[in-house]
Structure 1
Amino acid sequence: MLRRKPVGDLIADGDHGQLKRSLGLGQLTMLSIGATLGSGIFVVLGEAVPVAGPAVILSFVLAGITALFSALSYAELAGMIPLSGSSYSYAYATLGELVAWVCGWCLVLEYGVSVASVAVGWGQYLNELLRAAFGFTIPDALSQPPGSGGIVNVPAIAVVLLAMVLLLSGAKESARANAIMVVVKIGTLVLFCAIAFTAVQAKNFTPFLPLGLAGLSAGGAKLFFSYIGFDAASTAGEEAKNPQRDLPRAILLSLAIVTVLYCLVAVAAIGALPWQRFGDQQAALSHVLTTILDNQFWVALLAVGAIVAISSVVLTVLYGQTRILFAMSRDGLVPAALSTVDARTGTPRTNTLVVSGFVAVLAAFVPLGKLADATSIGTLFAFALVNIAVLVLRRRRPEQPRTFRVPFAPVTPVIGVGCCALLMFSLDTATWIVFGGWMLLGLVIYFAYSMRRSRLAGPR
C-alpha cells in the first residue's frame, strides 16, 4: 500500500509511451479552457445565485483563488512529471500506491461524473434554442432524467456519443475541433456581457451579502465545479510536444482567462436581473436574456453558443478521463485493455468506448445537482493531494529539475490544502455520504483486484 513509483520510472513511461506527441502550447491552453469554461457559468450559476445572492461574484473569486493555489502546484508537478496520469501519477511518486489509487478514484469521479452533469445542462440549452427558434421543446420525458420529471435524457446521450466519435479520430483532430468551439464560446460570453450590461441596475447589488458569509462560502463550494478542468492540460503530458515548458504555462494561462470571464459574466447577470428571480435555473444566462429582452433572436444565439461551449467541455473532460484510466491501466491497477492504443489513430480505443458508455448512461438517468456536488468534493480531495505532493517532492527530490516552481512554498501549498478543506466542509451531508460510499467502493476494488495486479507487486 505504501510502495511508491520512482519519479525516474514515471518519466521513462512517458518518454517511451505509445501516445503521439502532437500538441503545442496553444492547443494545450485551449484544452484546459475547453474543459473549464462552460460548465459553471452556463449551468451551475443558476444554482449558486439563490445560495449566495449578489455575493456570487465573490463566490467566483473565492473558488478561483482556491483553484489558483492548486493550479500552481499542478504547474510545478506537470512540468516535473509530464504524464497522462495527472495528480494520480504525482501521488504515486510521493504518497504511495494506496493514496495514488484513492486520488485516481477521485479523478474518475471528477472527470467521469462532471462530463455527465455537463451533458445534462447541454440538453437544457438545446431546449432553449428550440423554444426560441421554433416554438417547441423536447418533451420532459425525453430530455430530463428520472427524479426531474423525465424518463431518459436523450440529448445528454447524444452529446456524449458525439464527443466519443471525435476522440476516436485522434488527439490532434480533437484538439482542432475543441479550439474552434472555445473561440465560439468566448465570443458568446462576451456577447452576453455586452447585452446584459445595457440592463444593469445598481440596486440589484444591494444588499450584497443577503445570506451572509455562510452563503458566500456555500456559493464558492458550488461554483468550484465551474473551475474543474483547468488541470486537463496535465492529462495530455504524453501528447504534448514540449511538456516541461508548455504544461505549466497552459494551466496558469487558462485559469487566468477563465476567472476573468466568469467574474464579468456574473456581474452582468446579477446587475441585469435581481438575484431573487434566478430560481433554480439550469439555463441561467438564457433566463436572464429572456427576462430583459423581447427579441428572441439573442436568446437563440446565446443558446447556440452555450450548446457549442458545453460540447467543448464534454469533449475535453472526456478526453482527460480516458487518459487518467490509461495511466492507471499501464500501472496494472485497472484492466490492461484500457491502455491498449489503436495503431492508426494513436488513441486508447477500448478505453474511450467504455468511458463514453458509462458517462452516457449516467447522464441519461441522474439529475444535475447531485452530480455537480459529488464532482466538486472528489476534485477538492484530489487537489489537496496535489498540494501535499509538492511538499513531499520538495523534501525528497530537491535536485529533480523543475521548469516551474510554486512561489512562496511551503506556505502556498499549505494554503491550497486549507482552501480545499474549507470548501469540502461547506458541502452538505448528502454529498459527503455519496463521497464516502464512492471511496468505500474504491477501496474494495483496490484490495480485491488492484493491489495484487499492480506492476509494482511483481518481480522487478
Structure 2
Amino acid sequence: MTNTTPLVQRILRKKPVRLFHEQAINAGGVQLRRHISLFQLTMLGVGATIGTGIFFVLSEQVPTAGPAVLISFLIAGLAAGLTALCYAEMSSMIPVSGSSYSYAYATLGEGVAFMVAACLMLEYGVSAGAVAVGWSEYLHNLLMVTTGLELPRALLHAPLVADGYALQFGGDGLINLPAAVLVFLCCFLLTAGTRESARVNAIMVVLKLAVLVMFILIAFSAFDGQNLAPFAPHGFAGVSAAAGSIFFTFIGLDAVSTAGDEVKDPRRNLPRAIVLALIIVILFYLLVALAALGSQPQGAFDGQEAGLAVILHNVTGSPIPAVILSGGAVISVFSVTLVVIYSQTRILYAMSRDGMLPKVFSRLNPQTQTPTANTVIVSCVIAAIAAFLPSDVLWDLTSMGTLTAFTVVSLGVIILRYRRPDAERGFKVPLFPALPILSILSCLYLISNLPGIVFRLTAIWLVLAAAFYLFYSSRNSALESVAAE
C-alpha cells in the first residue's frame, strides 16, 4: 500500500466511534456471531477474576494485615471498582471487541492504541501462562492426594529463573508440561466455537462458586469471634501493604469488554455484566476471608500451603472436603485460562480488522465463526511462555500490562466526556471527573512499586512493538483509506 500520510498524523489519528459500529454491523464476509447472553458474559468476568488468588492469598496477606485483611479486600475492591466503572462507560459507548485498545484508538490515537495493545498482550498472553503454571501446581497436588502419583520435577518447573534485571537458566526443571497441556486443551475448546466455550465456562464458574460456598458454610460452622482479635495488629500500614497485593486478585474484570462483537445487546449488557461481576467477586472474597479468619487463629495462616483445604480438613476431620476444594481450584484455574486466551484472541482480531496485524488474525472459520488460526497461534505462544518462564516474573509482567490498560481506559473516559459529551452512553461513571482521576492515580501508584526486571522486560517489549507499528501497522492501517474525524 502506498502511504501518503505523514508519520506524526498516522500516530495521532483517531478512529471515529461511528466506524466501530459500522464495522460490527456491516463487516463483509463471515462475522462474529452475537450469542453471548448477559449471564454468560457476567460469568466470563467472574471466571477471569476468581482464580488462583483467593485460594492462596490469605496465607500470604493475613500475616501482613491480620484480620484487618478484610479492610484490605474492600480497599482493593474499591480501586478495581473505580476502573470497572470506567470500563462500563467505555464499553457502553464503544460496544465492540478490543477492550482498551479500541477505546484508546477512539480517544488517544492510533500509535497510543497500538502500544496499549502491546500492554494488553502482557496482561492476557502472559497472565494466561502464569495461570497455567498455577494450574499445574494444583493438578499435581490433587493427583498426589487422590492417587499418590507424583510427577518428576523436571516436568513441573521452568528452566529459567529471574536474577535481578535478567533471566537466566538455573530453574528446577526442563519444561512445565501440565501447564502447556492446559493451554492446548483451552485452544481445542475455543476453536470449537464461542457458544460452546461460553457454556463450558459458565458451568465451570458455577462449579467453582459452589465449591467456595461449601467452604464458606463449613468454615462458618467453626466460627469463633475471638480469632478476629487483635483486628489490626500491624496498623494501617499492614492494611495498605496487603491491599496492594490483593488488588491483583481483581484482575480479569476487563475481560468482559473484549467480547463486544459477540454479545447480545452489547450497549446494555456490557456495562451490566462488568458491574455484576465486580459485585459477585467482592462478595465472595469477603465471605471467604471472613469465614477463614473466624475458623482458625490468625497465626496459623503464616506459611500455610493450600490454606483453604487445610482449614476444611481441620474443621471436619475428613479429607473429602479438602479434596473437593482442590478439585474446585483446578476447575477454577482452567476457566481463568480459557477466558484469558479467549480475550487475547479477540483483541488481536480487532487489531487485524483495523490493519494493525496481518489478516490471518481476523480470518474466521466459516463453520464455527471463530478466529481459528488466531487461536492456534496465540495458544502456541502462551504454551511456550507457560512451559519455560518462571511464574513470579509472569505475574509482575501481567500487573504492568493490566495497570497500563486500566490507566488508559480511565483517561479515555475523561477525554470522551469533554470531546463527545452528546454521544450515546448506556452507562455513565458517577462523580465525574473525580472517580476516573482516582482510578488513574491508584494505577500509577501500583505501577511504581513493581520490581526492576519488569520495567526492563516491558521496555524491551514496547521497543519491539513500536518498531512493528512503524514498519508495518502504520502503513497498513484501515484508516489510510478513511478520513479521520
Q: What is the TM-score with the length of structure 2 in the denominator?
A: 0.89
Q: C-alpha separation between the residues in 2 aligned to 1:181 and 1:60? A: 24
Q: Which amino acid aligns with 2:75?
A: L
Following TM superposition, by how much is the alpha carbon of 1:293 offset from its aligned partner in structure 2, in angstroms?
5.4
Is 2:14 the counterpart of 1:4? Answer: yes
Partner of 2:33: 20
Q: Percent identity?
A: 48
* Structure 1 residues 115 and 296, CA gap change in structure 2 (3 angstroms): same
C-alpha contact (below 8 Å) 1:103/1:382 kept by paired residues: yes
- In the TM superposition, structure 1's runs of 4+ consecutive aligned residues that sit over 6 Å from their partners are none
The C-alpha deviation readout for 1:201-257, integer Å capped at 9, x for no partner, is 445444444455444333323222221211222111100121011111011001100
1:33 pairs, out of 46, 49, 52, with: 46
Q: Which residue number in structure 2 is paired with residue 414 of structure 1?
A: 437
Per the TM alignment, residue 61 of structure 1 is displaced from its structure 2 partner at its CA by: 1.7
Alignment CA distance shift 1:383-1:409 (3 Å): same
- Decide whether the 8 Å contact of 1:124 with 1:282 is kept in 2: no
* Displacement after TM superposition at 1:330 (Å): 1.1
Contact residue 52 and residue 329 of structure 2 kept, 8 A: no
* Gap change, CA 1:366 and 1:291, over 3 Å in 2: farther
Residue 344 of structure 2 aligns to which amino acid in structure 1? Q
Distance in structure 1 (CA, Å) of the matches to 2:425 and 2:83: 17
Q: Given the alignment, which residue of 236, 248, 268 partners 1:225?
A: 248
Matches within 5 A, 1:82-161: 82-146=95-159, 147=161, 149-161=172-184
Alpha-carbon distance change, 277 to 335 in structure 1, aligned in 2, over 3 angstroms: farther
**Displacement of 1:279:** 5.1
Equivalent-residue separation in structure 2 for 1:198 and 1:369 (angstroms)? 35
Distance (Å, rounded) in 2 between the aligned partners of 1:435 and 1:46: 29
SS in structure 1 opposite 2:366?
coil
Structure 1 residues 223 and 430, CA gap change in structure 2 (3 angstroms)? farther
Tell me the distance in 2 between the aligned counterparts of 1:144 and 1:33. 28
Shift of 1:123: 1.5
In structure 2, relative to structure 1, the CA distance for the partners of 1:59 and 1:424 (3 Å cut) is: farther
| Equivalent residues of 2:58, 2:301 under 8 A apart | no
Match of 1:179 among 191, 202, 209: 202
Contact conserved, 1:225 with 1:372, CA < 8 A, in 2? no
Question: Aligned-pair distance for 1:31?
Answer: 1.2
**Cα 1:309–1:275, aligned 2, differ >3 Å: closer, same or farther?**
same
Matched, 1:68 2:81: yes
How far apart are the structure 2 equivalents of 1:107 and 1:281?
Answer: 33
How much has 1:360 moved relative to structure 2?
1.1
Aligned to 2:216: 193
**Which residue is 1:350 aligned to?**
373
Q: 2:186 aligns with which of 163, 166, 170?
A: 163
Q: CA deviation at 1:43?
A: 4.8
Q: 1:281 Cα deviation (Å)?
A: 6.3
TM-score norm. by structure 1 comes to 0.93
AA aligned opposite 1:314: T
**Post-superposition shift, 1:41?**
1.0
Q: CA deviation at 1:428?
A: 3.4
Pick which of 315-324 and 449-458 moved more.
449-458
For 1:321-332, list aligned pairs within 5 A: 321-332=344-355
2:48 aligned partner, one-letter code: A
Shift of 1:102: 1.7
Cα distance in 1 for residues equivalent to 2:390 and 2:309: 20
Displacement after TM superposition at 1:50 (Å): 4.8
Deviates more, 1:38-47 or 1:78-87: 38-47
Mapped contact 1:32–1:230 kept (Cα < 8 A): yes
Once residues 2 and 191 of structure 1 are traced to their aligned partners in structure 2, the CA distance between those partners, rounded to angstroms, is: 52
Residue 275 of structure 1: how far off its partner (Å): 4.9
Structure 1 residues 218 and 455: alpha-carbon distance in aligned structure 2, compared to 1, 3 A threshold = farther
Deviation readout 1:429-455 (Å, 9 max, x if unpaired): 443333333333332332333222322
Mark the CA change 1:291 to 1:124 in structure 2 (over 3 Å): closer, same or farther.
farther
List runs of 5+ in structure 2 lacking aligned partners.
1-10, 162-170
Check whether the contact 1:15–1:238 (CA below 8 A) recurs between aligned residues.
no
Change (3 A) 1:437 1:61: farther
After TM superposition, give the deviation of residue 132 of structure 1 in Å. Answer: 2.1
In structure 2, do the counterparts of structure 1 residues 95 and 459 end up closer, same or farther at CA, with 3 Å as the change threshold? Answer: closer
Retained in 2: the 8 A contact 1:232–1:320? Answer: yes
Aligned equivalents of 1:222, 1:286: Cα separation in 2: 22
Q: Which has the larger radius of gyration?
A: 2
Unaligned ranges ≥5, structure 1? none
CA shift for structure 1 position 96: 0.7
Alpha-carbon deviation of 1:278? 4.1
Cα distance change on mapping 1:239 and 1:283 into 2, 3 Å: same
- CA gap of 1:274–1:156, structure 2 versus 1, over 3 A, is farther
- RMSD (Å) for aligned C-alpha atoms: 2.2
Judged with a 3 Å threshold, the aligned counterparts in structure 2 of structure 1 residues 405 and 120 are, in CA distance, closer, same or farther, namely same
Q: CA deviation at 1:308?
A: 1.0
Whole-angstrom distance in 2 between the partners of 1:199 and 1:367 = 38
Q: How does 1:336-375 map to 2 (within 5 A)?
A: 336-375=359-398
1:382 CA drift (Å): 0.6
Give 2:164's aligned residue: none
1:65 Cα deviation after fit:
0.7
Once residues 217 and 285 of structure 2 are traced to their aligned partners in structure 1, the CA distance between those partners, rounded to angstroms, is 14
